[in-house]
């Protein structure tokens, strides 16, 4: 496995990225806040799947400096990678439902300040894939029920909720993504279905 570099970035929160020779994991400043053991484990597990060759998206040169496009790309690939990560952690005793509810409570607080759905293209896609990711996350936890968060979200952002559910349904109806090869095929199918291939280099 590649070396892992830990750092505290300007932005708060946790993230893992794959460099050419190194993995980078961002964490909050440990001198200012207690680190979250689940969030740390989550990002470390992303590196495990990166090491196994699960694909990441690369933007075409014309969009590589577009922050909104980069956030959209992150949302698409995270939607699939997170399912693998959570399955791995769930098998090792982490209580996924508790972490899901805590995360969505925090998101709800932030989203409550917004009066309407986004209207810029990359922002719309970012929101769609983020909600699709939430639907897929919950389906993994308990496919026979729905959290109150979804009801609240659909009442505030009905179009995004409907479109996000459609994306989640497409993923659930696919042949899966349990191997790098299968994930590559599914990512390609998602980009083709939603006419997003032009933003990305070929997988």
**pLDDT in tens for each of the 203 residues of the chain?**
788 888 787 666 788 888 888 888 888 876 666 668 888 999 999 999 999 999 999 999 999 999 999 999 999 999 999 999 999 999 999 999 999 999 999 999 999 998 799 999 999 999 999 999 999 999 999 999 999 999 999 999 999 999 999 999 999 999 999 999 999 999 999 999 999 999 999 88
**Statement to judge: residues 171 and 93 lie in one domain:** yes
Give the C-alpha separation, 145 to 73, whole Å.
29
Domain for residue 132, yes or no?
yes
**Statement to judge: residues 85 and 177 lie in one domain:** yes
Residues 179/185/187/188 CA torsion (nearest 10 deg): 160
Give the number of domains in the chain: 2
**Statement to judge: residues 106 and 193 lie in one domain:** yes
- 3-state helix, strand, coil split of the chain in percent (to 5) is 60, 10, 35
Please report which residue ranges of 57-199 form alpha helices under DSSP H. Answer: 67-90, 96-111, 121-141, 148-156, 158-172, 180-193
Residue 161 near residue 154 (C-beta atoms within 8 A): yes
109: containing domain: 61-199
Domain for residue 34, yes or no?
yes
> What does DSSP assign to residue 22?
E
Q: Which residues of 105-135 are buried (b: 16+ CB within 10 A; e: fewer)?
A: eeeeeeeeeeeebeeeebebbbbbbbbbbbb
**Statement to judge: residues 19 and 71 lie in one domain:** no
The predicted model scores a pTM of 0.90
Cα Rg for the chain, rounded, in angstroms? 17
**Statement to judge: residues 44 and 68 lie in one domain:** no
**Statement to judge: residues 118 and 88 lie in one domain:** yes
**Statement to judge: residues 133 and 184 lie in one domain:** yes
Of 104, 83, 87, 117, the residue nearest 146 (C-alpha): 104
pLDDT at 1 (0 to 100)? 79
Residue 42 near residue 87 (C-beta atoms within 8 A): no
**Statement to judge: residues 10 and 84 lie in one domain:** no
Domain for residue 56, yes or no?
no
**Statement to judge: residues 34 and 119 lie in one domain:** no
Give the C-alpha separation, 8 to 14, whole Å.
9
**Statement to judge: residues 190 and 110 lie in one domain:** yes
Helix 148-156 with 158-172: angle, nearest 10 deg? 130
User: Phi and psi (nearest 5°) for 33?
Assistant: -155, 150
**Statement to judge: residues 28 and 113 lie in one domain:** no
Give the C-alpha separation, 158 to 161, whole Å.
5
**Statement to judge: residues 75 and 12 lie in one domain:** no
Q: Which two tokens stand for residue 174?
A: 């696919």
């Amino acid at each position: 496995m590649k070396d892992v570099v830990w750092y505290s970035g300007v932005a708060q929160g946790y993230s893992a990225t794959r460099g050419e020779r190194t993995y980078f994991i961002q964490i909050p400043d440990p001198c200012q806040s207690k680190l979250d053991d689940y969030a740390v484990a989550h990002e470390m597990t992303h590196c495990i799947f990166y090491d196994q060759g699960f694909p990441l998206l690369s933007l075409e040169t014309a969009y590589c400096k577009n922050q909104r496009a980069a956030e959209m790309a992150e949302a698409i690939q995270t939607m699939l990678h997170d399912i693998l990560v959570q399955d791995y952690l769930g098998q090792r005793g982490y209580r996924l439902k508790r972490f899901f509810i805590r995360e969505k409570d925090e998101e709800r607080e932030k989203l409550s300040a917004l009066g309407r759905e986004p209207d810029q293209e990359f922002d719309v896609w970012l929101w769609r894939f983020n909600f699709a990711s939430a639907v897929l996350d919950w389906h993994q936890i308990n496919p026979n029920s729905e959290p109150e968060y979804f009801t609240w979200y659909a009442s505030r952002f009905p179009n995004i909720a409907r479109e996000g559910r459609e994306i989640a349904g497409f993923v659930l109806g696919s042949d899966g993504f349990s191997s790098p090869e299968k994930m590559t095929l599914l990512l390609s199918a998602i980009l083709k279905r939603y006419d997003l291939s032009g933003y990305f280099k070929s997988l």
